Amino acid sequence: MTRMTMIEAVRSAMDVSMGRDDNVVVFGEDVGYFGGVFRATQGLQAKYGKTRCFDAPISESGIVGTAIGMAAYGLRPCVEIQFADYMYPAYDQITQEAARIRYRSNGDFTCPIVLRMPTGGGIFGGQTHSQSPEALFTHVCGLKVVVPSNPHDAKGLLISAIEDPDPVMFLEPKRLYNGPFDGHHDRPVTSWAKHELGEVPDEHYTIPIGKAAVRRAGAGVTVIAYGTMVHVALAAAQETGVDAEVIDLRSLLPLDLETITRSVAKTGRCVMVHEATLTSGFGAEVVSLVQEHCFYHLEAPIVRVAGWDTPYPHAQEWDYFPGPARVGRALIDVMEA
Partner 1 sequence: MTETTRLSLHVPEPAVRPGDQPDFSNVKLQRAGAVPRPEVDAAPETIRDLAYSIIRVLNQKGEAVGPWSGLLSDEELLTGLKNMMRLRAFDARMLMAQRQGKTSFYMQHLGEEAVSCAFRKALSKGDMNFPTYRQAGLLIADDYPLLTMMNQIFSNEHDPLHGRQLPVLYSSKEHGFFTVSGNLATQYVQAVGWAMASAIKGDTKIAAAWIGDGSTAESDFHSALVFASTYKAPVILNIVNNQWAISTFQGIARGGSGTFAARGLGFGIPALRVDGNDYLAVYAVARWAAERARRNLGPTLIEYVTYRVGAHSTSDDPSAYRPKTESEVWPLGDPVLRLKKHLVLRDVWSEERHRQAEAEIMDEVIDAQREAESHGTLHAGGKPPTKDMFEGVYAEMPPHLRRQREKAGY
- Among residues 91 and 318, whose Cβ is nearest to partner 1? 91
- Among residues 202 and 258, whose Cβ is nearest to partner 1? 258
Known catalytic residue: 231?
A: no
> Nearest approach, Cβ of 20 to partner 1 (angstroms)?
16
> Nearest approach, Cβ of 192 to partner 1 (angstroms)?
31
Exactly one of 129, 152, 231, 274 is catalytic; name it. Answer: 129
Which chain residues interact with partner 1 by CB under 8 A? Answer: 25, 51-52, 56-57, 59, 61-62, 65-75, 77, 89, 92-93, 96-97, 100-110, 141-142, 144, 165-166, 210, 253-255, 257-258
Rounded distance between C-alpha atoms, residue 69 and residue 73, angstroms: 6
- Among residues 52 and 152, whose Cβ is nearest to partner 1? 52
Residues composing the chain: 337
> Nearest approach, Cβ of 263 to partner 1 (angstroms)?
17
| Angle value at C-alpha 264, between 261 and 268, nearest 5 degrees | 145
> Nearest approach, Cβ of 188 to partner 1 (angstroms)?
42
> Residue 115: which residues within 8 A CB-CB, separation 6 or more?
64, 67, 79, 80, 81, 87, 90, 94, 167, 168, 169, 170
- Among residues 19 and 241, whose Cβ is nearest to partner 1? 19
The catalytic residues are 129
